[in-house]
Structure 1
Amino acid sequence: MESATTLSFDHPYGYSVAYEREELQFPVYVVAVVAAGLATAGYKLDNFPLIALSLVAFGYAYHNFPLLETGKPRIGASQYGIFADGLGIISWRSIKQIDIVWAEIRGSGSHELLITLQEPLERALLADWRKRPMHRFLMRLPWTMAGQDVVRMPLDVFDHAAEDIHRTFVRMMNFYRR
């Protein structure tokens, strides 16, 4: 039996989505280069504020490093439930509903998937992947908790359309919950 982490787009038993390959990588690379330039200038000029600013820029690039790993599945679904990188596998029976909403954040809008759970997250998870290695602890995750029983996933950073992801998850939930 194949684990959920190795599912691919063409796998007959599952569906997975990776980060988009086009637009997301550029800002991370630019910030990393700017951070290196600031660090070099700060070191050469013996200027502590420039070094501090470079550390902030390196922190941003480090946090967003997973956006550069475009081939790795970040969210998906299989016969067992919905999986998300850094979260685990949420059982189909533990999901009350799956909604897609339009969220306005700082003047910019994006689609978000809201997965409402019927029970606490600890009981809903078939596999718990929330314990991560120390070097990945501060890196971006493709999910957040919105309240006690709602998992929120921003969808516009993925390589499939938001409506397609939502439709596929709902279709799979309806099929596997029978």
Structure 2
Amino acid sequence: MESTTTVGHDHSYGYSVAYEREELQFPVYVVAVVAAGLATAGVVLDNLPLIALSLIAFGYAYHNYPLLETGRPRIGASQYGIFADGLGIISWRSIKQMEMVWTEIRGSGSHELLITLQEPIGRALLTDWRKRPLHRFLMRLPWTMAAKDVVRIPLGVFDRPADDIHRTFMRMMNFYRR
């Protein structure tokens, strides 16, 4: 007999990681203040290019708003699998390989977690959280699809060390796949 239990946000307790609390918030606040200043100057001076620049800056601040929500879990793992905010819960049995890699982009390096799936993402997800409310549609997600079957999670923005996150995920995967 099949179980019809659905797995939601409340079932994702276990190991969870949030965004780092210190240095990530500052640039978002600065860009928002600069955007407000540009918008004010643009309206006072009746200058359309300043207003356009302020809209671009507001867009950047809006996109990075989730970095300000530091207490909310963004990625984690539980008995059901690995969860990522805006993606869902990837079941343990659907994970083919999980590795941490070092990537350098424009002279700055960071660790990334690459999760290779055994099946398409639609079948690998126990719960699909990809459909988001309209007001959160353009906001930053903690993951991207690197390829058709590879989920890429940059680990440098979280409040725990990258090797700790990877080691814990591997330990949980080995335990729950037995």
When the two structures are superposed, what TM-score results if normalisation uses the length of structure 2? 0.94
Question: What are the Cα deviations for residues 107-144 of structure 1, in whole angstroms up to 9, with x where unaligned?
Answer: 21111000000000000000000000000000000000
Aligned pairs for 1:132-147 within 5 A: 132-147=132-147
The yes-or-no answer on 1:114 pairing with 2:114 is yes
What is the SS of the residue equivalent to 2:56? helix
Counterpart residue number, 2:43:
43
Q: Secondary structure at the match of 2:119?
A: coil
Where do 5+ consecutive residues of structure 2 fail to align? Answer: none
2:9 maps to: 5
Q: Offset at 1:106? A: 1.9
4+ residue segments displaced more than 2 Å: 3-8
Percent of residue pairs identical: 83
- How many residues were matched structurally? 174
Aligned equivalents of 2:8 and 2:15: distance in 1?
9
Alignment of 1:44-123 (within 5 A): 44-123=44-123
| Structure 1: tracts of 5 or more residues without a match | none
Does residue 32 of structure 1 match 2:32? yes
Distance 1:20 1:6, change over 3 A: farther
> Residues 113 and 152 of structure 1 are in contact (CA less than 8 Å); yes or no, is this contact kept in structure 2?
yes
1:130-169 deviations in Å (ceiling 9; x for gaps): 0000000000000000010000000010000000000000
Bigger CA drift: 100-109 or 36-45? 100-109
Provide the alpha-carbon RMSD of the alignment.
1.6
Equivalent AA in structure 1 for residue 9 of structure 2: T
* Aligned counterpart, 1:157: 157
Answer whether contact 1:41 1:50 (CA < 8 A) is retained.
Answer: yes
